[in-house]
């Protein structure tokens, strides 16, 4: 039990096969109270019911500051504290540089960057008052390699921005015993990726992955568990690659 009685907020955790949902299940198994924040109230509640009795579902659009504040207030009313924030909500668009419209750019960067900033701003006063907390941010190997199969350059930019924002916040809040770290997943089989992979694409990708398999959601959620829990008590401002060796 690595998160016994810890209150963990996870954004983008309603999607049944997603990394966020898998992490909600793992954190719950480790004794956590889990708040599932996703765009749709009914889907967030349904996900919470599926995760277990200590889970709570709340609607939240992470691109909207007021929505983040409202969702965090609901979590505090329900559970009374917040120990962990996992910024996991993310969207991608398989576009090339010349195809990206201003709307595309805003859609993708808003969910990753505004979402991370607004959610962090919403939970940090509570974490400061507790003098403890862990924030974990979901970046991507696309930030490090400059693109992937499904993410456009604007996705790479947004995910790289999350690394910079996370390091700056880690410096600022270290004195409050709040740790802020990032994970850069490689190609993980979820709804974002799974349905779109042809056998030929899969074969080509495998030649770039030393561990010779695609990632599963639990490969990432185990890294999230490490960073959320006291196992990583002296780690802040760090980035953990979870990519099978794709970026050695």
Applying CB under 6 A, the residues found at the interface with ligand NAD are 11-12, 14-15, 18-20, 38-39, 60-63, 88-92, 111, 138, 140, 185, 187-188, 190-193
- Closest distance to ligand NAD from the beta carbon of 72 (Å): 13
Catalytic, 155? Answer: yes
Residue nearest ligand NAD, Cβ-based = 90
Nearer to ligand NAD among residue 158 and residue 169 (C-beta): 158
For the record, the structure tokens of 18 come out as 């997603």
The DSSP secondary-structure symbol of 188 reads B
Nearer to ligand NAD among residue 63 and residue 109 (C-beta): 63
> 35 pairs with which residues across the strands?
9, 56
Q: What are phi and psi of 6, to 5 degrees?
A: -80, 145
CA distance 89 to 62: 8
- Closest distance to ligand NAD from the beta carbon of 61 (Å): 5
Nearer to ligand NAD among residue 93 and residue 130 (C-beta): 93
CA distance 165 to 159: 10
Q: Identify whether the C-beta of residue 17 lies closer than 8 Å to the C-beta of residue 191.
A: yes
CA distance 23 to 217: 8
- Closest distance to ligand NAD from the beta carbon of 175 (Å): 28
Catalytic residue among 33, 118, 155, 234: 155
- Residues annotated as part of the active site: 155
């Amino acid at each position: 039990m690595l998160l016994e009685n810890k209150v963990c907020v996870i954004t983008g955790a309603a999607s049944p096969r997603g990394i966020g949902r898998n992490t909600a299940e793992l954190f719950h198994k480790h004794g956590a109270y889990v708040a599932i924040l996703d765009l749709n109230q009914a889907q967030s509640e349904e996900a919470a019911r599926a995760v277990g009795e200590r889970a709570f579902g709340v609607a939240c659009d992470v691109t909207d500051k007021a929505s983040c504040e409202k969702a965090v207030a609901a979590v505090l009313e329900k559970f009374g504290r917040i120990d962990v924030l996992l910024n996991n909500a993310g969207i991608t668009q398989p576009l090339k540089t010349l195809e990206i419209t201003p709307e595309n750019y805003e859609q993708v960067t808003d969910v990753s960057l505004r979402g991370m900033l607004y959610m962090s701003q919403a939970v940090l006063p509570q974490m400061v008052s507790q003098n403890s907390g862990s924030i974990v941010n979901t970046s991507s190997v696309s930030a490090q390699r400059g693109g992937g199969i499904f993410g456009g350059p604007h996705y790479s930019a947004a995910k790289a921005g999350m690394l910079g924002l996370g390091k700056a916040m880690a410096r600022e809040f270290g004195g409050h015993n709040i740790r802020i770290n990032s994970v850069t997943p490689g190609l993980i089989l979820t709804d974002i990726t799974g349905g779109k992979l042809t056998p030929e694409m899969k074969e080509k990708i495998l030649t770039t992955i030393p561990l010779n398999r695609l990632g599963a959601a639990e490969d990432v959620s185990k890294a999230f568990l490490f960073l959320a829990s006291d196992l990583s008590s002296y780690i802040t401002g760090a980035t953990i690659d979870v990519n099978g060796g794709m970026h050695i």
